[in-house]
Amino acid sequence: MSIFSGWIARASVLRNDNAKGPWGSGGNGGSGGGDEGGPRNPWQFPPEGKRGRGGNATSLEDFLKRTRGNGGGGGGFGGGGFEAPGGKKVWIFGALAVLAAFLAFTMFHRVGPQERAVVSSLGKYSRTLNPGIHFTLPAPFNTVRVVDVTGIRNEDFPQGGGENLVLTGDQNIVDLAYSMRWNIADPESYLFQIANPESTVRAVAESSMRAAVASVTLDEIIGAGRSATEVRVQQFAQQMLDEYNSGIQIQGVAIRTANPPAAVDEAFKAVTASQQAAQANLNQARAYAQQIIARSQGDAASFDQIYEQYRLAPAVTRQRIYYETMEEILAKSNKTIVETPGVTPYLPLPAVRGQQAQPAPQPQAATGAAQ
């Protein structure tokens, strides 16, 4: 019964609608304008009072009317937004493109051979990615930070030039310029254990250098003890960074210059020159003493040998020593040898030639020689 009553109600509605035509009350839409409240004939001009003011609607206005969402609404494109010719809304495609780009940049990661990627899940460390292509959850669920683990960082002291005065163990002051090289050994500790890694490295390097220089003298830090100081500073700094669990590895420390302060540079140079001269004189004295000692030791050894020979044959040794002594003495003096009668005496020709070279005293010298 309910079904039949519904069909009867629909039939009555259609009968009432047919009584009124689509172009007015007459149903035919004749020449008349039709009922004021009903739809107007589209092929007739509107009444004078309802015509447009200018009567010159442009194509731009028609386009705006056609693109107005849902056929009505206020300014802009209406509540439904701009629609493409196919009926789909353009802003949906834009939002999807932005979302795809965001997912591509936050979910796929490429890690280079010299890099490591640290993944944190909602701010907490999750894992470390090795070189290659990796996939993670999008941000903000997973955050990836890439760290270069092979690059060597360099910290120079003092930064930007100027003096860097350090107190030595003998209460002197030295102007130091040095550098420290380091790299990242553990990316997880480097990112999560210390807040400012570079500032921490600089503070550790400066404190280690001052502690090492305070245990040596000025002469050592500007001279032969520089290499030992560099090694000691590297050990101090590495031990301190390991205690912080910083994940930083110290590669080396280099002292570029170590000079006294500029205010006392001239006086220090004079003192250094005096010390070098004193050291040179001391070295010469030591060398002369070594020569004298060596000569004395040689003479003593020779005397021991002669004594051993004398003890075995006293007469022969005594005669030999006499001959050697006379030979040494007579070799340094002029000699005249006179043989027995009937034998031509030996004439010292070099002595005669020397006497002929003299002007006046030559006859007296010859007479004295004959006597």
pLDDT score, position 12: 52
Question: Can you tell me the distance from the alpha carbon of 185 to that of 205, in angstroms, rounded to the nearest whole number?
Answer: 17
Say how many residues make up the chain: 371
Question: Can you tell me the distance from the alpha carbon of 32 to that of 120, in angstroms, rounded to the nearest whole number?
Answer: 79
- Pick out the chain residues at pLDDT < 70: 1-89, 335-340, 343-371
pLDDT score, position 55: 46
pLDDT score, position 168: 93
Question: Can you tell me the distance from the alpha carbon of 249 to that of 176, in angstroms, rounded to the nearest whole number?
Answer: 23
Cα–Cα nearest to 235, from 214, 202, 211: 211
* 112's tokens: 């280079």
pLDDT score, position 354: 54
How many H helices and E strands in the chain? 11, 9
| Global model pTM greater than 0.75 | no
Please provide residue 18's backbone torsions phi and psi, each rounded to the nearest 5 degrees.
-70, -20
Question: Can you tell me the distance from the alpha carbon of 240 to that of 324, in angstroms, rounded to the nearest whole number?
Answer: 79
Reduced to 3 states (helix: H, G, I; strand: E, B; else coil), residue 306 is helix
Tally of CB atoms within 10 A around 20: 15
- Contacts of 43-50 with C-beta under 8 Å, sequence gap 24+, read none
Residue 259 contacts residue 222 (beta carbons within 8 Å): yes
pLDDT score, position 181: 96
pLDDT score, position 74: 42
Residue 179 contacts residue 256 (beta carbons within 8 Å): yes
Residue 69 contacts residue 78 (beta carbons within 8 Å): yes
Using the 8-state DSSP alphabet, how is residue 216 labeled?
A: S
pLDDT per position as a tens digit, 253-281: 999 999 888 878 788 788 888 989 999 99
Residue 267: C-alpha distances to residues 260, 270, 280 (Å): 10, 5, 20
Helix ranges (H only) for 108-254 are: 187-192, 197-213, 218-222, 226-244
Question: Can you tell me the distance from the alpha carbon of 314 to that of 308, in angstroms, rounded to the nearest whole number?
Answer: 10
Q: Which residue(s) pair with 177 in the sheet?
A: 257
Using the 8-state DSSP alphabet, how is residue 116 labeled?
A: E
Q: How is 138-165 classified by DSSP, letter by letter?
A: PTTTEEEEEEESSPPEEEEESTTSS--E
pLDDT score, position 314: 85
Question: Can you tell me the distance from the alpha carbon of 75 to that of 56, in angstroms, rounded to the nearest whole number?
Answer: 21
pLDDT score, position 224: 87
